[in-house]
Amino acid sequence: MRTAFKLAAGIAMSAIAAVSQAQIKPSVIYDMGGKFDRSFNQASYTGAEAFKKETGISYTDFEITNEGQREQVMLRFAQRGFSPIVVAGFQQAPIVEKIAKQFPDTHFVMVDAVVDLPNVRSVIFKEHEGSFLVGALATMKSQNKAVGFIGGMDIPLIRKFGCGYEQGAKYINKDATVLANMTGTTPSAWNDPTKGSELAKAQFDKGVDVIYAAAGGTGVGVYQAAVDAGNLAIGVDSNQNYLHPGKMLTSMVKRVDLVTKTAFEDELNGKFTAGLQVVGLQEGGVDWALDEYNRDLLTEADIKRMGEIREGIIAGDIKVHNWEDTQSCTY
C-alpha cells in the first residue's frame, strides 16, 4: 500500500515536473548575420540545441532579415509568453529596452550589450583575457618572435581584443614584435576578406608568422593568406580551427552558446537572475580552443604552459588590462 502510494506520488510529482517543464518556452532572436554565420549567431544556436538535446524542451527562434521585423518579432515573442528571450547582438539593444519595459514578467538575455532593466540579464565578455591567452601562444609558436593582429572595424570592442593579444604576446617575450592593423572604420570592415588578406600579407612581409583576426568575415581572407604563406592563423568567436586543419594555431572562443544554454537552464530551474554578467576565463565565458585540428601543432609543454597562464589569469596573478577601462593600451 505504502509503495503504491509512493509510486502514485512519484508519478504525480513527475507529471507536475513535466507540466512545469512544458511551461518553459525559451527562445532566441538572431541578428542579421543569420543563424548559420559560423560565428557569433551560430554560437547561440549551438547553445539552444544543446539545451534541447539535454532536456527535450524545444525552443523557438527567429532570424532577423530586415529592420522592420525587429520590434514586431520581439513583441510577438513576448506576447506569446516566451521567456527567456535570448537576444544576440548589440544592434538589438534599443529594441530590447523598449519591449522589456512593456513586459516586466518576461525575461530577456542581452548578449554583447548592456540594458539596465530589472528583467534583463546583460552578458558582456572579457575578450581581453581570451586574447591574452592566444597572444601568449602566438609568441610561443612564432619563429621570428613577431606576431600580428587584424581587427575588423575600429571600435573600442576590437581594441580590447588587440590590447589583450599584445599583452599576452609580450608576456612570453618582452621583445616580441606585435603588429596591429584595423581593416576600416565602417561596418564593411567586418566583411572585407580581400583587404584582410592584403593587410595580412603586409604584416607577413614585416616578419610576422602568426596572425590573429578579430574581424568577422574579413578573417576568412586573413586565414587564407596565412595558409598560402605557410604561416599560422588564430580564429575568433566560434572555434574556427576546422576551417584550415593544421594551419589554425587556435581560436579565441567566446562562449555565447554557454550563455544561451545557461539562461535556458536558469529559467527551467527558476533561478533566472537579471543584471550585468561579465564573463571571462574563470566563468568559462572565453577560452582558447584545443581540438583534433590543432593538437598536432602543439607540444605537451605548450599545452602545460597555456594551462599555467590560464590559471594565473584566473587566480589574479597575471593582470590583464582592459582597454575599455582607460581607453588606451598602457599597462
Partner 1 sequence: MSQLAAVESPRWVRIGLIPLLQLVLALAVSSLVVLMIGEDPIRAFKIMIHGAISTEFGGLSNTLYYATNFIFTGLAVAVAFHAGLFNIGGEGQAYVAGLAVALVCLTLDSTLNVWFIAPLVVIGCAAFGALWGVIPGYLQAKRGSHIVVTTIMFNFIATALMSYALVVWISPLGGNSTDSRYWASDAVIPKVHELAPSLGFEASFSLLSPVLLVALACCALVWILIWRTRLGFAIRTVGSNPNAATYAGINANRVIIITMAISGALAGMMAFNEAYAAQGRLILNFTSGFGFMGIAVALMGRNHPFGIVLAALLFGALYQGGTELQFEIPSISPQMVLVIQGLVVFFTGALDRLIREPVEAVFQRRAIANANAAVAGGN
Residues that bind partner 1 (CB under 8 A): 34-35, 60-63, 65-69, 71-73, 75-76, 79, 90-91, 93-94, 113, 153, 155, 185-188
Cβ 71 to partner 1 shortest distance, Å: 7
Cβ 13 to partner 1 shortest distance, Å: 31
Cβ 33 to partner 1 shortest distance, Å: 12
Query: How many beta carbons lie within 10 A of that of residue 97, not counting itself?
Result: 16
Cβ 249 to partner 1 shortest distance, Å: 29
d(Cα 205, Cα 275) in Å, to the nearest integer?
47
Cβ 134 to partner 1 shortest distance, Å: 24
d(Cα 124, Cα 134) in Å, to the nearest integer?
19
Query: How many beta carbons lie within 10 A of that of residue 119, not counting itself?
Result: 17
Task: Specify the residue, 58 or 299, whose C-beta has the smaller distance to partner 1.
Answer: 58
d(Cα 290, Cα 277) in Å, to the nearest integer?
26
Task: Specify the residue, 68 or 316, whose C-beta has the smaller distance to partner 1.
Answer: 68
Cβ 56 to partner 1 shortest distance, Å: 16
Contact 70, 92 (CB under 8 A): yes
d(Cα 304, Cα 293) in Å, to the nearest integer?
18
Query: How many beta carbons lie within 10 A of that of residue 298, not counting itself?
Result: 18
Task: Specify the residue, 67 or 228, whose C-beta has the smaller distance to partner 1.
Answer: 67
Look at the chain and count its residues.
331
Cβ 150 to partner 1 shortest distance, Å: 19
User: Residue written as cell 587556435?
Assistant: 250
Task: Specify the residue, 161 or 272, whose C-beta has the smaller distance to partner 1.
Answer: 161
Which residues are CB-contacts of 37 (< 8 A; sequence separation ≥ 6)? none
Contact 119, 106 (CB under 8 A): yes
Task: Specify the residue, 91 or 119, whose C-beta has the smaller distance to partner 1.
Answer: 91
Contact 24, 32 (CB under 8 A): no
Task: Specify the residue, 14 or 186, whose C-beta has the smaller distance to partner 1.
Answer: 186
Task: Specify the residue, 32 or 227, whose C-beta has the smaller distance to partner 1.
Answer: 32
User: Residue written as cell 604552459?
Assistant: 305
